[in-house]
Amino acid sequence: MSRKNNRIVKSNNSWHRELQLKKIKITMVVVVVALCISVLAGAAVLWSETGKNKIADPLLQVSSALESQTESEAEREEPFELVVASESSKLPDYYKAQPVDFAGIEVDARILPSLQAMIEAAKKSGVDLNAKEGYVSAEEEDRIFAEKVAALVEEQGYTQVRAEETVQKEYGRGGYSERQTGLTVWFTADSEEEASAAAHWLSNYAVDYGFILRYPDNHASDTGKSYDPLAYRYVGKEHAKKICQFSMCLEDYVSYLAVR
Last residue of a domain, one of 147, 173, 199: 173
Q: Would you state the torsion angle of the CA atoms of residues 10, 14, 16, 19, taken in this order, to the nearest 10 degrees? A: -160
Whether the per-residue pLDDT at 118 is higher than 70: the answer is: yes
Domain assignment of residue 46, given as a range: 1-76
pLDDT digits (tens, 9 = 90+) for 75-84: 467 899 999 9
> Is residue 243 assigned to a domain?
yes
pLDDT digits (tens, 9 = 90+) for 95-109: 999 999 999 999 999
| One domain for residues 190 and 244 | yes
Name every residue whose Cβ is closer than 8 Å to that of residue 142 and which is 6 or more positions away in sequence: 173, 174
Average pLDDT on 106-133 reads 98
User: Residue 206, class by beta-carbon neighbours within 10 Å (0-12 exposed, 13-18 middle, 19+ buried)?
Assistant: buried
| One domain for residues 104 and 2 | no
| One domain for residues 145 and 190 | no
Q: pLDDT at position 260, please? A: 82
- Structure-model confidence comparison of residues 50 and 241, the more confident one: 241
> Is residue 26 assigned to a domain?
yes
Neighbours of 195 (CB within 10 A): 16
| One domain for residues 33 and 72 | yes
Last residue of a domain, one of 173, 196, 219: 173
For the ranges 32-36, 62-66, 103-107, 223-227, which has the lowest average pLDDT? 62-66
Name every residue whose Cβ is closer than 8 Å to that of residue 220 and which is 6 or more positions away in sequence: 226, 227
> Is residue 18 assigned to a domain?
yes
pLDDT digits (tens, 9 = 90+) for 148-171: 999 999 999 999 999 999 998 888
| One domain for residues 229 and 113 | yes
What total of structural domains would you count in the chain?
3
> Is residue 244 assigned to a domain?
yes
pLDDT digits (tens, 9 = 90+) for 180-212: 999 999 999 999 999 999 999 999 999 999 999
| One domain for residues 97 and 25 | no
> Is residue 81 assigned to a domain?
no
Q: pLDDT at position 34, please? A: 53
CA distance 208 to 117: 10
| One domain for residues 228 and 242 | yes
Alpha carbon separation from 66 to 61, 70, 75 (Å, rounded) = 9, 6, 14
**pTM attached to this predicted model:** 0.70
